[in-house]
Amino acid sequence: MDCIFCKILKGEIPSYKIYEDENVFAFLDIAGDVDGHTLVIPKKHFTNILDCDDQTLKNVMIDVKKISKHYVDDCGYDGVNIFNANDESAQQSVFHFHIHIVPRKKGDGLDGFPHFSGSLDKIENMFEKLKMNK
């Protein structure tokens, strides 16, 4: 497997580890796009959230919360953006399930939410298409 995140887990590629437990590994994104940009990954390889088992997803999200609270409670940040992309169509670039945490401060000037160009269909049509029946 040629997964860069699996190579980081194996120690083949160095990383700036923020947190680790038996199921999850969190490290700084080396892209240098924003201070503190953290990636949280399961130690078991999954392509994305769509093929991730429920227990692994639970473990990842518990640690995402733990790390996020640490950033706010202990590191001087006011909040965090948490995001995830699933599949190439959603701009996923590394195909190992991961959650991004971006620490935020009031007035930091970052735009942490995408700008969408507007719906193409009526909300009623989308409701009919997307609603779930248990």
Q: How far is CA 20 from CA 26, 31, 49, 63, 97, in A?
A: 6, 21, 20, 9, 16
45 is catalytic: no
10 Å CB burial of residue 88 (0-12, 13-18, 19+) is exposed
Q: Which string of b and e fits 64-84 if b means at least 16 CB within 10 Å? A: beebbeebeeeeebeebbbee
The catalytic residue among 37, 70, 96, 98 is 98
Residue positions annotated with a catalytic role:
98
